[in-house]
Amino acid sequence: MADGDRVASIEWFSAAALAGVAGMPGTERGVRKMAEREGWTARNRSKGKGFEYPWTNLPATTQAALLLAKRPESVASTSPVKRQGKASVSEAQIQDAWTRYEAAPQHIKDTAGRRLQALQAVERLIAEGHSAVNARQAVAAQLQRENVRGASVASLYRWASDVAKVEKQHRLAMLLPEYSGRTATTEIPAEAWDLFKSDFLRVEAPAASACYRRVESIAKVRGWELPHLRTFMRRIERELPRGVRILAREGAEAFGRTFPAQERDRSVFHALEAVNADGHKFDVFVKWPDGTIGRPIMVGVQDLYSGKLLGYRIAETESADLARMAFRDVIENYGIPSKVWLDNGRGFASKMLTGGVANRFRFKVRDEDPTGVLVAMGCEIHWATPYHGQAKPIERAWRDLCENVAKHPAFAGAYTGNNPTAKPENYGSKAVPLDTFVKFLQQEIAAHNAREGRESRVCAGRYSFDQAFNHSYAQAQIRKASTEQLRQLLLTAEVVTADRRDGSVRLADNRYWSEALGAYAGQKVVLRFDPDALHTSVQVYSLSNAYLGEAECIAAVGFADTQAARDHARARTQHRNAAKKQLQAERRMELATLVQQLPEAIPTDLPAPGVIAPLFGNKARPKPEPQPEALPRTGTDDGRASALSDFLARAQATQNARFGWQPPEDDA
């Protein structure tokens, strides 16, 4: 079926659609009268009232106008054009035509499209039964009415000749007018061009006009003929790609931004499967309990799937301990993440957290390094690209908190500005107490997680971070940490010595005690603790890292607090009674029973002597032991003996007086 037959069979036009078209009256009534007068075929409209008229009844002028108003149909067609023995255009010529088409501006492309429409209109009119001459005349007349430049019957002949050797899908490129753009250029002296480039392509980014003036001053001495500055700039833009210009004038960091950032689909995870962590310094002056004033730092851990902030800790400085406690909160409250993306800061790259990972950006990696607590829990560690904030999605959360926390009305006067040149007028007039800052920070983080309508791929503009996390968390397989693993995440104190009397230990002016510490009185132990919960308890380990137990905090009270004294006395009595009961339970045998079961000190049956020596007269008295021969006396012996005797007498008298003892009187 020819194109004309197909159109004639399916295209019908109402009087309203035909009114005002070339060859038709300007009103619907006029079209209806013309149809009645010429006896057009008519049918009822499928929608609405009135009649429709077929394509075949319309005059050639009207058909040409309607065809030129339609979009070209044969651009994507692959049907070959019938040729009369003419050689086809080569593939190289077709490729060159399409290259020219892609490089041409849009108004030139529109001209090629209009020419294609005109040729399609001529072909269709010929298929409808009109002669080729009449068809070309009708189409040319319509193009002239539309003020198409160069439209004539001869032009239609020429355009048809240009595309006679190509397939229909390539006719649009072949009909592109000859276009070469601006080709006239003025020569720039080679040395002047090199001087201009060396001056202009610097990171100081001097103005092009200043560079031109410097070259111009040299040209006056050298006798060069320089074109206008615009010629220099057009050549710069033509010969140097934009990336090269940015690299030269703005540096490598700006050049890196010209490469599109990688869009990572976080929806491939489930809740808690992957997290990322980073530190953020708030632009608020806070007064710490010791009276110092500074800007607090928060280490936060964010779930990558939902975007929810899972855990955070506040301190004066960023450290490995701060990051460690933030991860402990996440692991204790939610579970162990499988993948962890960390910042390359010294706190996150410490051996206590990530020791054993081979690709840390900081510190040397040694075989003898201890295994970090995150590595020991089976977390897969990844590092964000240094100095590249786009690699950390948590940076988006920091931007929200900067606006909602740092500029909170409760902190008016304490806001510092986000850079040294953006200090507010009331800079430094106030510092909020730490507990006040933490209170409002908790409120804003909760609101950040609960805000609905998030535009992430997971939330899809309908859910909050909390809702997205909870939905996935309820269906995910979560790894939980044991009590022992949670204790390993606590901070380790310096070695402390337990009190010699009761075994209590001290940490940060707090005193802790448990019954298990009694056995280590006077010995050195190690404490693990949560710095934000020092008033509750600490975990006690031996020097060999053996767990000894939990020691509760013994709160310090006022000297005159009688109720606290009674409570302490009651606790001490209960402890003593418990010890007595345990001692009584261990003493299962009375002392009397023990004494009765002791063996005799001297055997009852002595062996008979072999020989008994007889005793006669005075020989029965024992013979005195022989005394050593006295040394000869000197002239000073009497004085020394007298002094010693007096000293012993005085000492005896003093002792007798102390104890109230009187020597017995002599019976003689």
Contacts 24+ apart (CB under 8 A), 641-644: none
Q: Residue 376 — very low, low, confident or very high, per pLDDT cuts 50/70/90? A: confident
- DSSP string of 268-288? GS-TTTEEEEEEEE-SB-EE-
Give the whole-angstrom CA distance, residue 422 versus residue 39: 82
Closest-CA residue to 323 (of 367, 257, 279, 287): 279
User: Three-state SS across 373-430?
Assistant: HHHHCCCEEEECCCCCHHHCCHHHHHHHHHHHHHCCHHHCCCECCCCHHHCCCCCCCC
Q: What is the pLDDT of residue 610?
A: 47
Per-residue pLDDT at 374 exceeds 70: yes
Select from 480, 469, 549, 561 the least CA-distant residue to 516. Answer: 549
Question: With 70 as the cut, is the pLDDT of residue 562 above it?
Answer: no
Residue 211 confidence (pLDDT): 92
Phi, psi (degrees; rounded to nearest 5) at 110: -65, -35
Domain with CATH 2.30.30.130 in the chain: 490-554
Q: What is the pLDDT of residue 209?
A: 94
**Mean pLDDT of all residues in 509-516:** 84
**Looking at the predicted structure, is the pLDDT value of residue 487 above 80?**
yes
Span of 141-150, 189-198, 409-418, 474-483 with lowest mean pLDDT? 141-150
Amino acid at 324: R
pLDDT band at 488 (very low <50, low <70, confident <90, very high): confident
Domain with CATH 1.10.10.60 in the chain: 190-257
State the pLDDT confidence band at 426, using cuts at 50, 70 and 90: confident
**CA 142/CA 355 separation, integer angstroms:** 81
Q: What are the start and end residues of each CATH 3.30.420.10 domain in the chain? A: 266-473
Most confident of 35-49, 263-277, 472-486, 602-616: 472-486
pLDDT for position 296: 92
CATH superfamily of 190-257: Homeodomain-like (1.10.10.60)
Indicate the range of 103-107, 253-257, 389-393, 446-450 predicted with least confidence: 389-393
Q: How many CB atoms lie within 10 A of CB 159?
A: 20
CATH of 490-554, one of 3.20.20.150, 3.40.50.300, 2.30.30.130, 3.40.50.970: 2.30.30.130
pLDDT, residue 633, reads: 55
Task: Supply 406's token pair.
Answer: 């740092």
With a cut of 80, say whether residue 317 has pLDDT above it: yes
Instruction: Indicate if the pLDDT at residue 105 is higher than 60.
Output: yes
| 98 Cα distance to chain centroid | 46
Take residue 450 and report the two structure tokens written for it: 């609960």
Task: Give residue 571's pLDDT.
Answer: 63
Q: pLDDT band at 347, cuts 50/70/90?
A: low
Q: What is the pLDDT of residue 582?
A: 62
Q: What is the pLDDT of residue 2?
A: 42
339 burial via Cβ count (<10 Å: 0-12, 13-18, 19+):
middle
What single DSSP character describes residue 4? H
- 583/296 Cα distance (integer angstroms): 53
Q: Token match 């019957």: residue?
A: 153
**pLDDT (0 to 100) of residue 388:** 52
Q: What is the pLDDT of residues 583-592, one digit of tens each?
A: 666 555 554 5
What is the band of 365 on the pLDDT scale with cuts at 50, 70, 90? very low
Task: Tell me: pLDDT of 14 over 60.
Answer: yes
Tokens of 236: 């710069």
pLDDT at residue 121 in the model: 84
Closest CA to 339 of 262, 277, 267: 277
Mean pLDDT of 493-517: 83
Encode pLDDT of 302-311 as tens digits.
Answer: 999 999 999 9
Confidence band (pLDDT; 50, 70, 90) for 72? low
Q: CATH 1.10.10.10: which residues of the chain?
A: 3-174
Q: Provide the pLDDT confidence category of residue 628 given band limits of 50, 70 and 90.
A: low
Mean pLDDT of the 37-63 span: 78
Residue 362 has pLDDT above 70, yes or no: no
Q: What type of residue is 264?
A: R
Give the architecture (CATH level 2) of 266-473.
2-Layer Sandwich (3.30)
Q: Is the pLDDT of residue 195 over 50?
A: yes
Q: Which residue has the higher pLDDT, 391 or 272?
A: 272
pLDDT of residue 585: 63
Q: What number is the average pLDDT over the span 217-227? A: 91
- Report CA dihedral (363, 364, 367, 373) to the nearest 10 degrees: 10
What is residue 533's predicted lDDT score, i.e. its pLDDT? 79
Q: What is the dihedral of CA 644, 647, 651, 657, to 10 degrees?
A: 130
Q: When comparing pLDDT for 572 and 253, which is higher?
A: 253
Q: DSSP string covering 546-587, please?
A: -EEEEEEEE----TT-HHHHHHHHHHHHHHHHHHHHHHHHH-
* pLDDT of the residue at 565: 47
Give the right CATH number for 3-174 from 3.40.50.300, 1.10.3720.10, 3.40.960.10, 1.10.10.10: 1.10.10.10
